[in-house]
Structure 1
Amino acid sequence: MARTTARHDPVPHHRRPRRNRWAGIVQAAFWLIAVATVVGVLVLFPWGGPPEADQAGFAQTSEERFAGRIVGVEESPVQDDFLLPGSVAVTVDVVLDDGRQVTVETVDEAGIFDLGRRVEVSQVAATGTPEIWAIVDLPRGVPLLGLSAVFVLAVVALGRFQGVRALVGLVLSALLIVAFLVPAVLNGSSPTVLALVTATAVMLVTLPLSHGFDRPVVAAAVGTALALALTVGLAVVAVELTGLTGLASEDVQLVRFSTGQSIDLRGLLLAGMIVGTLGVLDDVTVSQASTVAALRRANPTLSAGRVFGEALAVGRDHIAATVNTLFLAYAGAALPLLILFSVGDAPLGETLTSELVAQEIVRTLVGSIGLIAAVPLVTGLAALTLDGSEPDHGHAHGDASAPPPVPEPSSPEPPAVPPAEVAGTGSEAVLDPDASLRRLFRLDDDGEDPTE
């Protein structure tokens, strides 16, 4: 009789997983996005490589670099009146690694030309002119390798195998940007379209690698792709309405000068916004999808609507912190610019509407709006793709014909869950989530407990 009662107990029946059509729809959308991204990469990939830079307007020069060490520094007796404050004209003696010694006339702008410091020296020779020696940089290879090694060890030590997968995703992301996005921009393709395709490809590669391939990750990927599309649309409209040209950055001007090509500068500005937003979007979307999954694991009886509401409350806190993080990231990158404007005489309104500042404002606002839209979007998709094992509505309201999922301890009938799962006295009973999950995972396909 005990087994018969267990077989017809309504609680396992109502917890039997049901087929979730939304999960199929979201998964189909994921594969559609993946196929479209692969096609986009194949179509836009610069198979012939980027075009050669047009150097017709440059003198025929050759440059060769050497590593060396400073063996003498002497302040020049004559200082140029046009030197910036804090800069000093100096004569530097450098012994190259091949044994030669050269003398370089230069300007020490940061007080870094000390005896014994290693430097990189460039020898530039042009037709019909004497060779010129210049200190062009400082060697940083060893410190950067050491810092990278510490980073890798920290990621692997804490993340273990998941950390290794995240590092692989990081390398693939860098390859997509360096080997696909940059050459394709130089090849004349639209930077905006390229940034969208690249960002989506990075997302499709890194999310499964870092977090596995399950329903929450699929929901996060689809939500991220939709949020990226929304961000692109917002960025295009905002750049058009504010009249941003992309000409404010000296780096952009240097790109045009060095390549000798006509590059879509406004599209390049949009591409930077899109790629910059992706990193924060990944964090928000995966966190929201994981929150939905964690809530369901903690209490399998929660409905999809209740899970959505609770996860959205977490998302609000996440957004409040992330938007501030996004602003601080852009403000930190533009800190010298902010200092420059703070000592100027221009009115505040004129400063804020100048292109240099306006493009950072647009970047921050567009990225923040994309993040805000991503939270309910991904949370809703993740909630819709739950496994469908939640009980039907109306079974927890005291109906005598349908016992509640967690019976009172005083019930004469065998409890639906083992006594270890229930804590409390009197009319209060609290479901132990861990014990509930242990029982849930022991159920076979027919909803029966094989241990009974």
Structure 2
Amino acid sequence: MTTDVDPRRAARHARAATSEIPEAAGHAHAHGGPVPPAPWRTRLVLAVLVLPAIVATGLGLWQLWPSGGEVPERIPVVVEGSELVEATVVRVLEGEEAGDASWPTIEDATVGNVEIRLDDGTTAGMQAEPRFELGPGDEVVALYIGDFAETETPYVFMEYQRDVPFALLAAAYVLVVLLVARWRGLAALVGLAVAFAVFIGFTFPALLSGQDAMAVALVTSSAVMLAVLYLAHGLTARTTVALLGTLAGLALTAGIGAWATGAAHITGTSEEIATNLPTIAPAVDLQGIALCGLVLAGMGVLNDVTITQASAVWELRALAPLAPRRVLFARAMRIGRDHIASTVYTIAFAYVGAALPLLLTVWLLDQTPLMTLTSGEIAEEIVRTLVGSIGLVLAIPITTAIAAMTVPRAPAAERARRESTSMGSGPSEEDTVQERP
């Protein structure tokens, strides 16, 4: 999930920060205005800095893109003679009427514990485990098994139908984003679609074909960030600053993650479904996939903090056009420290919510807290959280420094006019703006 921050939110933080600048805040509010466009020299330097990343991303996509023969064939969901059908639960049978509620076998598949109605109006028996708690009216997906065609229960419960609630949630999400963020929200949605196209078209096939997972992670994250940031925030110097900070944070995350996965023996086999992957795709590297997932998981939060920091510096400049760059950096870092404090526990809370059943299961085990935290099921997520947080924290001062050095100052003539005006009313901004701890 890439999370974008509206620059207006950064502006509110910026106004709070600059309001504490004595005298300068008053001058800034009186004379401040939109930050002028970055001069051509600044744009040239930014282009020189970001161009290698663009070239490296393109070369990486070309080098790592797997050929058709390298990618394992996709596994059919059902075997020949079987098919998935949609049905509606009519009633759930109980007691002797249900018979044997176990999954059907060749020897005994004569009764079912659920009666379903198919799309053509006919009814049939379906086996379903009691834990699914089906009831009349439930829309389900059933597997028709050809070998049981002559029995009373040729169907087995596979899944609930979720098309309608998913479609409603997606429509509500798109509508809310468009109503609140308008064209920028639409651009962000397009960027999200591009990101998933990269995942499906490049990342997944490359990992399954055995390509170097670290390289795949860096190329994927760079390509996604190039698309998402420029689509959502425009082709501006401020966006390029955020991109540079994001790429630096991702590089740090990848480097620290590579060390951490080896030192902590993160094998990528903590989940049962992952252990089955090598039997389907023998070329995969589970530890490498864990590292790749660690880097990709940090993209959204990194994008959040870097665009916020870049926007904060730009808004501070608009409010205090004559403030020294070191003061802009110091004030923006005060905003960054607040963001760090909130984001660190946001990441932790997100993990607790996603892995709550696992955490409850591990909590029931009679072992010390240290053994719990370092067990395979928990260790991988702790490493992912800690490494992602380190990359996030380091990206904030990097982005802020680049933004403070890059944000344009007021034109020379305008600075001279303001300085001459301030001489009659008190010290100038250059004199009164002092860096506070």
Give the TM-score range, shorter chain: 0.7 to 0.9
Matched, 1:354 2:375: yes
**Native 8 Å contact 1:60 1:126 kept in 2:** no
Q: Distance in 1 between matches of 2:158 and 2:92?
A: 16
Give CA deviations for 1:181-234 in whole Å, capped at 9, x if unaligned.
111212221222212111111100000110111111101101111110110010
Secondary structure at 2:202's aligned position in 1?
A: helix
1:33 is displaced (CA, Å) by 0.6
> Which ranges in structure 1 are unaligned for 5 or more consecutive residues?
1-14, 82-88, 397-401, 412-425, 432-452
TM-score (norm 1): 0.77
Q: What is the aligned counterpart of 1:314 among 335, 338, 358?
A: 335
Q: Distance in 2 between matches of 1:16 and 1:338?
A: 52
* Aligned partner letter, 1:223: G
Higher relative helix content? 2
Partner of 1:64: 83
**Native 8 Å contact 1:219 1:289 kept in 2:** yes
> Which ranges in structure 2 are unaligned for 5 or more consecutive residues?
1-34, 103-110, 431-437
Q: Distance in 2 between matches of 1:34 and 1:17?
A: 23
Partner of 1:109: 131
* Aligned partner letter, 1:407: T
Q: Distance in 2 between matches of 1:188 and 1:16?
A: 48
Matched, 1:275 2:296: yes
Matched, 1:339 2:360: yes
Q: Distance in 1 between matches of 2:165 and 2:36?
A: 57
Give CA deviations for 1:136-164 in whole Å, capped at 9, x if unaligned.
01111111111111111111111111111
1:98 is displaced (CA, Å) by 2.5
- After superposition, residues 19-418 of structure 1 pair within 5 angstroms as 23-48=43-68, 51-53=71-73, 61-77=80-96, 91-111=113-133, 113-125=134-146, 132-257=154-279, 259-389=280-410, 405=419, 407=421, 411=424
**Native 8 Å contact 1:18 1:389 kept in 2:** no
Which stretch shifts more, 72-81 or 157-166?
72-81
* Aligned partner letter, 2:139: R
Q: Distance in 2 between matches of 1:314 and 1:189?
A: 40
Secondary structure at 2:85's aligned position in 1?
A: strand
Residues 68 and 50 of structure 1, relative CA distance in 2, 3 Å threshold: farther
Q: Distance in 1 between matches of 2:277 and 2:163?
A: 25
1:60 is displaced (CA, Å) by 6.4
* Aligned partner letter, 2:45: I
For the aligned residue pairs, the C-alpha RMSD in angstroms reads: 3.3
1:39 is displaced (CA, Å) by 1.6
TM-score (norm 2): 0.80
1:265 is displaced (CA, Å) by 0.1
Q: Distance in 2 between matches of 1:340 and 1:163?
A: 40
Q: Distance in 2 between matches of 1:59 and 1:141?
A: 20
Q: Distance in 2 between matches of 1:430 and 1:306?
A: 11
Q: Distance in 2 between matches of 1:256 and 1:128?
A: 34
Q: Distance in 1 between matches of 2:339 and 2:44?
A: 28
1:319 is displaced (CA, Å) by 0.6
* Aligned partner letter, 1:37: T
1:62 is displaced (CA, Å) by 4.5
**Native 8 Å contact 1:49 1:183 kept in 2:** no
Q: Distance in 1 between matches of 2:39 and 2:270?
A: 55
Residues 95 and 385 of structure 1, relative CA distance in 2, 3 Å threshold: same
1:351 is displaced (CA, Å) by 1.1
1:347 is displaced (CA, Å) by 1.8
**Native 8 Å contact 1:106 1:134 kept in 2:** yes
**Native 8 Å contact 1:69 1:94 kept in 2:** yes
**Native 8 Å contact 2:90 2:136 kept in 1:** yes
Q: Distance in 1 between matches of 2:95 and 2:112?
A: 5
Residues 54 and 221 of structure 1, relative CA distance in 2, 3 Å threshold: closer
Secondary structure at 2:128's aligned position in 1?
A: strand
**Native 8 Å contact 1:20 1:388 kept in 2:** no
Residues 59 and 161 of structure 1, relative CA distance in 2, 3 Å threshold: closer
**Native 8 Å contact 1:208 1:217 kept in 2:** yes
1:304 is displaced (CA, Å) by 1.4
Identity of aligned residues (%): 33
1:334 is displaced (CA, Å) by 1.2
Q: Distance in 2 between matches of 1:220 and 1:353?
A: 35
Partner of 1:5: none
**Native 8 Å contact 1:17 1:389 kept in 2:** no
Secondary structure at 2:270's aligned position in 1?
A: coil
Structure with the bigger RCO (C-alpha within 8 Å, sep 6+) is 2
* Aligned partner letter, 2:299: L
1:305 is displaced (CA, Å) by 1.2
1:102 is displaced (CA, Å) by 1.9
* Aligned partner letter, 2:373: L
Secondary structure at 1:109's aligned position in 2?
A: helix
